[in-house]
Structure 1
Amino acid sequence: MLSRLENLEILDLSHNDLNDASFLQSIAAVKSLKILNLEYSYELNGSFPTKELANLSNLEVLILRFNQFGGQLAIQEFCALKKLEVLDLAYNYFEGILPPCINNMKSLVVLDITANQFNGNASSTYLEASRTSLEYINFSYNQFVGVFSFNLFANYSELEVLRFNDNKNKVEIETEGSMGWSPLFQLKTIELSKCSLNKLTSSIPKFLLVQHELDIVNLSHNKLKGSFPNWLIENNTRLHILHLRNNSFVGQLYLPRLIHSHITWMDVSTNHLNGKLQENIGKIFPNLSYLNLSNNNLEGNLPSSISGMLYLDVLDLFFNNFSGGVPRGLTTDCLSLRVLNLAHNNFNGAIFVGTYQEILQMNGNQFKSITPVLNSTGSLSYLDIGNNEISDTIPRWLGNTSYLKTLVMAKNEFYGQIPCELSMTSTLDLSHNLFTGPLPFYLNLPKLEHLYLQGNKFTGSLPKVLFNSSSLLTLDIGDNNFTGSISVEIKQLQGLKVLLLSGNRFNGIIPNQLCLLRMISIMDLSKNAFFGTIPQCLHKIYFGEIAATNVSYSHRDVIGTSYLTVPYTYKGFSEEVVDFYSGSEFASAEIEIEFVTKYRQSSYKGSILGYMFGLDLSCNNLTGGIPPVLGQIPITFSNLALLESLDLSHNSLSGEIPSALIDLTFLEIFNVANNNLSGKVPDMKAQFGTFEKSSYEGNVFLCGPPLDKSCSKGNKSNPTPTQSSNASDSKWYEIDPLVFHTSFSVSYIIFFFTVMTFLYIHPYWLQRCSNLMEDLIYSCYYFSFDTSKRLSNCLCN
């Protein structure tokens, strides 16, 4: 059918669900075709049929971006397309070298090979220095290596857009040649991110001094040194975007004197800038929508002129040394401000929550209070006020924020009751505060994913309503005063990944219902009063990769997609620049838990939680043996094979250590110290070859390496108290002083109350006992009196 359309010049099949490229063979007959657009077809894959399309000698525009074409381009056939003006191969899987015959395409205006797998030396890209037609070049995100000399483009008089971002830092771009050079072009966009720019000198490209039409400048992630290049702003009155993140600029952030109303986006985060912000920054950049100054050493008060930035959408001052109060006008006047990050500074006073703010990160400061502005916080979805100095009850108005997903109030001095109005769907973190009393029975958060109550003084048992939170992934209630046994209804938390109950007063047996929580990766029941045996069924919990692949441990879900992309145009913003949150702290407010490994409490957060698997039952009253099934690994799934930490210390476990545990090859921490285990320790194979004697200490009847006590024939099994292999071994008559004094005191108290109860019930014997005590008192009295009188007479004589 297409072959009959002899005069067809434009064929646009973009944004379709095409899945077969065979139809391209019939297109070859349409010799009049000038424009072929297959953009965003997604399913087109395999080698691109350049052999068939070689007959399209009139083709001027070829757009293949965002498909799945791969392999190498057929160079001989590809070279036949000499009239091409636009060649867009971006976001495919093309590989090999870039065909040298591109130099034969004298009319080429746009060359975009972004995000493929083209390789070879960067200096061999076969672009002639005499070319004058090219206006747009994008070599970003390929597999090029080596050093690329920038003065190759010196004579490209029409060049306006140049992008050579390399996310692997394998390409070194040098703009300062051995001899000076003056470009004939005037760039509008230059993006040289993560490309080891001027690695020898670490200097900002000098040729930019003669560029006066720049619209976008992205030199981020290059370790450039020197002072902040404010001349880039002064020399380019049309500049919209300045991206200098993650370099090594030093000194003060000197800003231009004149107003620059064109700038809407500026990121100079992660440098070494210091000093105070200019008071008139808000007047110099009145139209800024994105300002990121995070990870510097800036100090002083926040300029009040920032409140005049009416279009400010994102303000990130994370990790500086700013102090003083936050201007109220930042909330009341900046009505476009949706994302505010002032975390880890020295701000004090009140936190003001505005009407339109969506993400508010204020943790790590010295704030004393939090208050809403205009009694409306309807847009708030993420609030982190942790690690401040707020002493108050939880504000009830937080329950009126219908979009609130994450609330972090950790490490303050909050007290009182948890309001019933709270309805988080992602995270509720109230850890390390001053809450007391039982958890309210109305604590109903059915869609909550992460609950942190660690480090308070909660008491009582866990309310059954808590087990209705079927979406719960993390439950951390450690270091409180909870009591009672673990309810069998905990089996309802089928998706639970992290269960931390350490440091409470839970008792009873460990219920088998815990084994139904098969997605668990970290379980900590230590420092409680559990008794009985270790459940045989614990090996049924995955503790491994099957669980890890299903859970994301970050708050990235609160970031709206509207922040991340804008429509693409060849001369407009690139995807690399407009990704506001690439590496931003807003998108990485990660889940963090504390888990004891290697005798110390460590924090694990973010994606690492998907790879950490641990079981801690230490410091309880567990008895019996270690179940051999803990070391059994079924063929069909890994289960305990990926377990990294197993702590059974400080219990009353007996019997031998199962040799099957040697099969736990991922085990990095193993501790059975201070039990009543006996027999030979597991052979020092695999991971067990790394465990020291401290893992087994406090078990008198254990023997074998790495312990000093050897295993003789007489004590390999059923050891008797009189057996000892050498003088350094513990003697049979040695008793734990703590156990002795405790048992003696308990026995004495029981005996005393038994006698008193008997006397209370039988008055006759109480009277006889009273008379006996009275006779003894009088006897002692007269004996003492008579003895003292005789001694005085002897002394007088």
Structure 2
Amino acid sequence: MAIAPIKFAFTSTVYTILFTNPSFSLFNCPTQESQALLSFKTALNVSDGNLSSWVNGSDTCSKWDGISCDNLTNHVERVNLTAYTNHEGQGVQSGVISATLCKLPFLKYLNLRSIGLTGNIPSLFDVSKNALTGYVPSLWPPYLQLLMVNDNALVGTIPPSLCNLDHLVKLDLANNKLNGNIPPCFSNYKAIQVLNLGGNSLEGSRPHGLCCSSLIVRYNKLSGAFPPSITDCKRLQVLDIGHNRFAGEIPWSVGNLSALQVFMMKSNHFRGRIPSEIVQLKKLQILDLSSNNISGFIPRNISSLQAMVIPRGDGHMLSTLLNPFHIFVREKGLNTYFKLGPFDTYVIRVPSHVELDMTVKGLERHYSYILSTTTYIDLSSNQLKGEFPVEFGKLKGLRFLNLSMNNLSGVIPHSLGEMSQLESLDLSSNRRFYGSIPTEIQSLTSLECLDLSNNNLSGNIPQGGQMITFDNTSYSGNPYLEGCPLPKKCSWPQFSPPLRSPNEIQDRNEGFRKKIS
């Protein structure tokens, strides 16, 4: 009589131990899996002494460098070789991905980041930021939870078979050369938290019903109206659909996205008004609706964006972001924890990539891994009208504000001086701002970039605080504006040596000659 299998449930995985199999051991590494790893090693260029623990006949693979196994079954669950390479000719330096990795049926996590891999991806995962070519494979380990093949040179379409990865938590195919449509079956994902398909040439629309914590499809060719079903996703924290071909109006139901922290729709064809319900997004930190055809007024109750009201963190961010040697600023917080096994916890960051095209004084720069302290509003290059809302003054935690290239009018309110953490302000090219620059702007000690050019401002430029650090490009194109740094009525002191009488000069020269004689 056959003995019924005994099942042990740990997290989402069910392990089956067949006691009828006499070759099975709770303590030995399964032969197939150890041989698969050894074959994988032979395809790598490894310097002497590295991965020396990978020896045939070892009792358990869990003692091998970079390998983690289930504590009960000894099946290989994690392979992480990133820690075993450097840029000084040591460790793993290059190689190809051996197809023998497909013989690791319980593999849940693979990290081969930045180890110089070349060639094609076998049908079997962090292999991001390499030079991999070919197509996205159709066959993957069924228990895979992270699949990261971003920043390579993959081509072709996204295989629908990826929808069979029921345990997938993070899928990152960004920055490749993929085309075609997003598989409709992506809406069937239940465990997915991060989906990043940005930086490809995908077409069509976003699948209806897809819900995750971070959805990034920026820089594609997606079209259609704003996906209505997305506003039903209450756990959505990051939504970036910028640089596509979406059109239509922004639905009022965006106010239902109570967890949303990043909302980016830059460079599409949206029209209509900014729905007043957008101010219900209490956790919103980044709002970018720039370069669309949005008209109407800026919502008056903009101060309801609570995450921008309370100052966040210390220090200046803009000086770091504008430094070309510090473009990548590690994103903090927004962590989600999930189990890879009964004794192993992995941390996934949501969002994994917060990418921001920040326009400062007409120059657009691209940044990744923005700190969680970032608060940013960009409504530039639209058709907005009306006055600068006085309520902006209550956003004391806002760091970057860009309202340029619109049809805004009226005076710049004195309440601007209350935005204590403001680092960049761009109100340029509205043409209808008039009146004087409020003197309260001098109190903005964090202000590092200012652009008020091409308006109809008049009067004297305030000369206190950070105002003396800006050049004439911050004020040009305002014919009635005067004072330094503009040449009109500039009265900055000239730092020339004081005049002396002839006798003082003669006495000084005599004293100098005595010292050297």
Taking structure 1 as the reference length, what is the TM-score of the superposition?
A: 0.45
Q: Secondary structure at the match of 1:321?
A: coil
Q: Secondary structure at the match of 1:622?
A: strand
Partner Cα distance (1:265, 1:686) in 2: 61
Contact persistence 1:435–1:457 (CA under 8 A) = yes
**1:695 corresponds to which letter in structure 2?**
S
Q: Answer 1 or 2: higher relative contact order, Cα 8 Å, separation at least 6.
A: 2
Q: Larger helix proportion, structure 1 or 2?
A: 1
User: Alpha-carbon deviation of 1:607?
Assistant: 5.4
**2:100 corresponds to which letter in structure 1?**
S
- State the partner residue of 1:456: 244
- State the partner residue of 1:708: 487
Partner Cα distance (1:495, 1:606) in 2: 18
Q: 2:371 aligns with which of 601, 604, 608?
A: 608
- State the partner residue of 1:666: 446
- State the partner residue of 2:129: 344
Contact persistence 1:614–1:646 (CA under 8 A) = yes
Cα deviation digits, residues 560-619 of structure 1 (max 9, x gap): 2567966xxxxxxxxxxxx877xxx98983322222124322334435241551111111
Query: Cα distance 1:588–1:345, how it changes in 2: closer, same or farther (>3 A)?
Result: farther
User: Alpha-carbon deviation of 1:506?
Assistant: 0.8
- State the partner residue of 2:183: 395
Are 1:688 and 2:451 matched, yes or no? no
- State the partner residue of 1:314: 109
Q: 2:146 aligns with which of 359, 364, 367?
A: 359
- State the partner residue of 2:413: 627
Contact persistence 1:559–1:587 (CA under 8 A) = no
Partner Cα distance (1:263, 1:517) in 2: 52
Partner Cα distance (1:610, 1:365) in 2: 30
Contact persistence 1:662–1:682 (CA under 8 A) = yes
- State the partner residue of 2:81: 292
Contact persistence 1:355–1:374 (CA under 8 A) = no
Contact persistence 1:495–1:517 (CA under 8 A) = yes
Cα deviation digits, residues 290-329 of structure 1 (max 9, x gap): 332476674443112333345544321112432333222x
Partner Cα distance (2:228, 2:77) in 1: 48
Unpaired stretches in structure 1, ≥5 consecutive residues: 1-226, 234-238, 240-254, 270-284, 331-339, 521-540, 567-578, 634-639, 713-797
Partner Cα distance (1:454, 1:287) in 2: 40
Query: Cα distance 1:621–1:374, how it changes in 2: closer, same or farther (>3 A)?
Result: closer
Query: Cα distance 1:544–1:671, how it changes in 2: closer, same or farther (>3 A)?
Result: farther
Q: Secondary structure at the match of 1:414?
A: strand
Are 1:560 and 2:379 matched, yes or no? no
- State the partner residue of 1:466: 254
Partner Cα distance (1:601, 1:267) in 2: 44
**2:283 corresponds to which letter in structure 1?**
G
Contact persistence 2:108–2:143 (CA under 8 A) = no
Query: Cα distance 1:476–1:562, how it changes in 2: closer, same or farther (>3 A)?
Result: same
Q: How does 1:498-647 map to 2 (within 5 A)?
A: 498-520=286-308, 541-542=309-310, 544-545=312-313, 557-560=335-338, 589-606=352-369, 608-611=371-374, 613-631=399-417, 633=418, 640-647=419-426
Q: Secondary structure at the match of 2:254?
A: helix
**2:79 corresponds to which letter in structure 1?**
Y
Aligned alpha-carbon RMSD (Å) = 3.3
User: Alpha-carbon deviation of 1:379?
Assistant: 0.7
Taking structure 2 as the reference length, what is the TM-score of the superposition?
A: 0.68
Query: Cα distance 1:501–1:448, how it changes in 2: closer, same or farther (>3 A)?
Result: same
Contact persistence 1:354–1:376 (CA under 8 A) = no
Partner Cα distance (2:478, 2:114) in 1: 49
Q: Share of identical aligned residues, percent? A: 29
Query: Cα distance 1:360–1:693, how it changes in 2: closer, same or farther (>3 A)?
Result: same
Partner Cα distance (1:267, 1:564) in 2: 20
Are 1:699 and 2:481 matched, yes or no? no
Query: Cα distance 1:689–1:471, how it changes in 2: closer, same or farther (>3 A)?
Result: same
Query: Cα distance 1:489–1:291, how it changes in 2: closer, same or farther (>3 A)?
Result: closer
Contact persistence 1:343–1:365 (CA under 8 A) = yes
User: Alpha-carbon deviation of 1:259?
Assistant: 4.7
Partner Cα distance (1:474, 1:694) in 2: 31
Query: Cα distance 1:602–1:268, how it changes in 2: closer, same or farther (>3 A)?
Result: farther
**1:389 corresponds to which letter in structure 2?**
K
Aligned residues: 392
**1:317 corresponds to which letter in structure 2?**
L
User: Alpha-carbon deviation of 1:390?
Assistant: 1.3
Q: Secondary structure at the match of 2:181?
A: coil
Are 1:482 and 2:267 matched, yes or no? no
**2:453 corresponds to which letter in structure 1?**
A
Q: Secondary structure at the match of 2:467?
A: helix
User: Alpha-carbon deviation of 1:507?
Assistant: 1.2
Query: Cα distance 1:369–1:556, how it changes in 2: closer, same or farther (>3 A)?
Result: farther
Query: Cα distance 1:611–1:399, how it changes in 2: closer, same or farther (>3 A)?
Result: closer
Partner Cα distance (1:495, 1:288) in 2: 36
**2:364 corresponds to which letter in structure 1?**
Q
Are 1:654 and 2:434 matched, yes or no? yes
Query: Cα distance 1:489–1:293, how it changes in 2: closer, same or farther (>3 A)?
Result: closer
Query: Cα distance 1:478–1:288, how it changes in 2: closer, same or farther (>3 A)?
Result: closer
Cα deviation digits, residues 503-562 of structure 1 (max 9, x gap): 111111222032322323xxxxxxxxxxxxxxxxxxxx446459x9xxx95686344256
Contact persistence 1:354–1:373 (CA under 8 A) = no
- State the partner residue of 1:377: 165
> Larger radius of gyration, structure 1 or 2?
1
Partner Cα distance (1:232, 1:553) in 2: 31
Partner Cα distance (2:99, 2:120) in 1: 10
Contact persistence 1:326–1:350 (CA under 8 A) = yes
Query: Cα distance 1:498–1:289, how it changes in 2: closer, same or farther (>3 A)?
Result: closer
Q: Secondary structure at the match of 1:642?
A: coil
Partner Cα distance (2:481, 2:287) in 1: 32
Cα deviation digits, residues 65-92 of structure 1 (max 9, x gap): xxxxxxxxxxxxxxxxxxxxxxxxxxxx
Unpaired stretches in structure 2, ≥5 consecutive residues: 1-45, 68-73, 87-91, 317-329, 376-398, 492-517
**2:405 corresponds to which letter in structure 1?**
C
Query: Cα distance 1:515–1:620, how it changes in 2: closer, same or farther (>3 A)?
Result: same
Q: Secondary structure at the match of 1:490?
A: helix
User: Alpha-carbon deviation of 1:705?
Assistant: 1.4
Query: Cα distance 1:386–1:267, how it changes in 2: closer, same or farther (>3 A)?
Result: farther
Query: Cα distance 1:707–1:508, how it changes in 2: closer, same or farther (>3 A)?
Result: same
**1:557 corresponds to which letter in structure 2?**
N
Q: 2:200 aligns with which of 390, 412, 426?
A: 412
- State the partner residue of 1:120: none
Partner Cα distance (1:587, 1:462) in 2: 24
